[in-house]
Amino acid sequence: MRYLLRRIGFYLVALWASVTLNFLIPRLAPGNPAETMMARLKGKISPQAQHALEIAFGVNHDPLWSQYLQYLNNLLHGNLGISITYFPTPVSVVISQELPWTLMLLGIALVISFIIGTLLGVIVAWRRNSTLDAVFSPLFTFFSAIPYFWLALILLYILGYLLNWFPINGGYDTSTTVPEWSPDFISSAIQHGMLPAFTIVISSIAAWLLGMRNAMITTLSEDYVLMAEAKGLSQRRIMLTYAARNAILPNITAFALSLGFVVSGALLTEIVFSYPGVGYALYQAVENLDYALIQGLFLIIAIAVIGANFLADLVYIALDPRVRLERN
C-alpha cells in the first residue's frame, strides 16, 4: 500500500512538471501565429490581413508568470482554449473529433502487434535455431528497418492503388456513409483501417519479437527452468508459466509506455493514408505556433503516458511477487 501511495505521489509531481514544461516549451519558439499564418497562405490573401490576424489571435502581452497562472486556472476548469489552426474552434472540439480515430487505429494495431510479436518471441526462443527462428526474426527485423514512410507508401501503392484490395485514403467511405453506429459505417471504417493498421503492425512487430526472444533465452537458462524439466512437466507448461511469465516483464513495461504514446497519434500513417487522427493535428499545431492546441494535445499525451505507467506498476505487482515482497 505504501508503495502504491508513493507511486501516486510521484506521478502527481510528474504530471505537474509536464504541465509546466507544456506551457514553457512552445513559448520558447520564435515568431508569432499571425506571421506564420501569412507565410502558410503564401500570398493567397492580401498582405494587410496580417494586422487583422494579429488582432484575431489576440497575442497575449501579460508577463509569463501571470500567463502561467491563467493557464493553470483554465486547466483546472477544463478550459483548453481556442485553436488558431482551426480558428475559432475550441481545442477540446478538435481533440474530441480526432482522438477516437487515433485510439482505435493505434490501440488495435498496438495490441495486435504486441500479442503476435510476444507470442512469436516465445515460440522462436523455445525453438531457437529452428526454421521458424531463422525466418521470422530476420523477416520482421527487415520490415522494421525499412523507413516506415516508404514501407507504407509502397504498400499503399501496390495493395491499394494498383491491386485495389484496400481503399487508398480516409477513415471511412465518405461517399456512402456518415460516422454513426451503423453496420455500414463500422464495416467501412474497418475496411479503411486495415491497411494502415497492417503497415503499423508489420513495422513494429520486430521490437516485441526480439525483446521477448532475448528475455526468454536468458530465462530459459535459469535453474528453475531446468528443475521444471527435471520434474517432467509438460513442454507447454514450462514454456508459458515458467519461462514466458518471467520473461514478459520488460515487454509489459514497453507495452505500457507504448499504450501511453498511442494518443500522440501516428503522423506518418495519417499523412500516407490521409487517415484522420491526432498526429496531423499536432503537426499543424506546431507548424502554426498554435499554443493552445499544442498544450491541449501534450496534456492528453502526458496524462496518458503517466496513466499507462501507473497501470504498468499495478500489473507488475500482480505479475511479479518480488515487487510485492520487497515493499512489504
Partner 1 sequence: MAPHALFTRKTKKGLFALSFLLVFAVLVAACGGSQKQVSHKQVPLAIVPNTGGDFTRVFNPYQVSTTTYYGAQGLIYETLLFFNRLDGSEKPWLATSYHFSSDATSITFTLRQGVKWSDGQPFTSDDVVFTLNLLKKYPAMDLNSIWQFIKSVSAPDASTVLVTLNKPFTPLLWYLGGQTYILPRHHYSGVGDASQYADPNPIGTGPYILKSFTPQIYIMDKNPNYWQPGKPEVNEITFPAFDSNTSAELALNHGQIGWTGLYIPNIQQTYIKLDPVHNHYWFPPSDVVMLYLNTAKYPFNLLPVRQAISYAIDREQLDKVGESGYEPAASPTALILPANKSYLSPDYTNTTFQVDPNMSAQLLTSAGFTKGSDGIYADKNGKKLSFAINVVSGWTDWITDCQIMVSELKAIGINASVNTMAYDAYYNALQMGTYNVGMSYTFPGPSPYFLYDSLLRSSNTAPIGQQANTNFERWSDSATDQLLSQFASTTDPAVQQQAMAGIQKIMVEQMPTIPLTNEPYWSQYSTAHFTGWPDPNHQYALPSPFMAPDDEIVLLNLHPVG
E strands, the chain, where? none
Residues 6+ apart with CB under 8 A from 179: 172, 185
Number of Cβ atoms within 10 Å of the Cβ of 110? 20
Q: Among 92, 141, 148, 173, indicate the residue that binds partner 1 (CB under 8 A).
A: 173
CB of 6 to partner 1, least distance (A): 29
For 170-182, give one letter per residue: b (16+ CB within 10 A) or e. Answer: ebbeeeebebeee
The reply on whether position 100 binds partner 1 by CB under 8 A is no
For partner 1, the closer CB: 99 or 110: 99
Q: Among 19, 23, 53, 114, indicate the residue that binds partner 1 (CB under 8 A).
A: 53
CB of 312 to partner 1, least distance (A): 19
For partner 1, the closer CB: 96 or 218: 96
The reply on whether position 291 binds partner 1 by CB under 8 A is no
Closest listed residue to residue 213, CA positions, set 281, 105, 140: 140
CB of 86 to partner 1, least distance (A): 4
For partner 1, the closer CB: 188 or 264: 188
Number of Cβ atoms within 10 Å of the Cβ of 191? 13
The reply on whether position 190 binds partner 1 by CB under 8 A is yes
Query: Restricting to residues 213-252, which ones interact with partner 1 according to CB under 8 A?
Result: 236-237, 240-241
CA 148 vs. chain centroid, Å, equals 15
DSSP string for residues in 211-244: HHHHHHHHHHTSHHHHHHHHTT--HHHIIIIIII
Number of Cβ atoms within 10 Å of the Cβ of 35? 14
The reply on whether position 154 binds partner 1 by CB under 8 A is no
Q: Among 75, 103, 108, 168, indicate the residue that binds partner 1 (CB under 8 A).
A: 168
For partner 1, the closer CB: 284 or 309: 284
Q: Among 60, 66, 130, 169, indicate the residue that binds partner 1 (CB under 8 A).
A: 169
Stretch that binds partner 1, among 19-27, 204-212, 283-291, 319-327 (CB under 8 A): 283-291
Count the site residues for partner 1 by CB under 8 A. Answer: 74
The reply on whether position 124 binds partner 1 by CB under 8 A is no
Distance CA(241)–CA(219), nearest Å, equals: 12
Closest listed residue to residue 204, CA positions, set 160, 161, 156, 268: 268
Q: Among 62, 150, 274, 314, indicate the residue that binds partner 1 (CB under 8 A).
A: 274
CB of 15 to partner 1, least distance (A): 28
Distance CA(73)–CA(56), nearest Å, equals: 23
Host H or E run for residue 311: helix 291-319
Are the C-beta atoms of 81 and 292 separated by less than 8 Å?
Answer: yes
The reply on whether position 25 binds partner 1 by CB under 8 A is no
The reply on whether position 284 binds partner 1 by CB under 8 A is yes
The reply on whether position 328 binds partner 1 by CB under 8 A is no
Q: Grid coordinates 501503392 are at which residue?
A: 157
